[in-house]
Amino acid sequence: MASTLRVALAQLAFSDQPVIDRDRVTAAIREAAAAGAELIVLPEIHGGYYFCQTEDPAQFDRAESIPGPSTDYYSAIARELSVVLILSLFERRAAGLYHNTAVVIERDGTIAGRYRKMHIPDDPAYYEKFYFTPGDLGFEPIQTSVGKLGVLVCWDQWYPEAARLMALAGAELLIYPTAIGWDPQDVPEEQQRQLEAWQTVQRGHAIANGIPVLSVNRVGFEPSPDPAAAGSQFWGSSFIAGPQGEWLAKAGDREPELLIADLDRDRSEQVRRIWPFLRDRRIDAYGDLVRRYRD
């Protein structure tokens, strides 16, 4: 492999019109490939609006099988452009069994692997437990032509255990397709605290594990199907951080943006030599981590 890897994050806004949204995604992929990106990451559930703001059985019609129409479509693009793509789909595994799933498409258009979201939130405007079964594939990196990718999804990003297990399994990058935003009724000070917490915890995963983090969010206001609800203002702010948490690229919080950065493949090795956190872990003393809480 080359000593650097050019990566791209497609921070996008969505219209909830399937043809328009797919065209936007496709245009971003083509622009990233034209700029030399070898790995391109799309936001969480990028087929339209984030539909989990309410609980509605009709929304299950959005789900599809894997392989299926979306993987067929994006596989053809990956093969044409010779890029690795990370998709985020609403997977229909069986009747009544659905997952929030990231799919990695290899340069030749084959499916390199998938990750099913493990941590499922259930909060106002994020009613994911109604739609998604928790993942059952574990925290296993996906081997690709651009490296071993530790793909996680959104709510997973708040859990250091998920990042650590990916790193312990050999992940060279941590990648988080995301859909997160503000309640428009929150005061600006609270909105800023939430955004900074989101950035900080993920940069912490980069530091604690000595590997880069790529986090791509959607952006823009999406109304709630519930007329009494405020809707969600997705805050964008996609970013790429290096293995010491250093900023390599940052997007704004209001507009679609294509974020591109070159990753130094040797830097994680160098950082881990001076900050050998994996060496000094006290694995003999961590047994209580498998308990819910120490009463």
* SS3 of the chain: CCCEEEEEEEECCCCCCHHHHHHHHHHHHHHHHHCCCCEEECCCCCCCCCHHHCCCHHHHHHCECCCCHHHHHHHHHHHHHCCEEEEEEEEEEECCEEEEEEEEECCCCCEEEEEECCCCCCECCECHHHCCCCCCCCCCCEEECCEEEEECCHHHHHCHHHHHHHHHCCCCEEEEEECCEECCCCCHHHHHHHHHHHHHHHHHHHHHHCCCEEEEECEEEECCCCCCCCCEEEECCCEEECCCCCEEEECCCCCCEEEEEEEECCHHHHHHHHCCCCCCCCHHHCHHHHCCCCC
Assess contact for 113 and 124: CB atoms under 8 A: no
Catalytic residue among 38, 44, 91, 222: 44
Determine whether 172 is an active site residue. no
Asked about 154 being catalytic, the answer comes back as yes
Catalytic status, residue 117:
yes
Q: Provide the sign of the torsion angle of the four alpha carbons 198, 199, 201, 202, taken in this order.
A: positive
Kindly name the residue from 117, 128, 222, 257 that is annotated as catalytic. Answer: 117
Catalytic residue from among 38, 52, 106, 154: 154
Residues classed as catalytic = 44, 117, 154
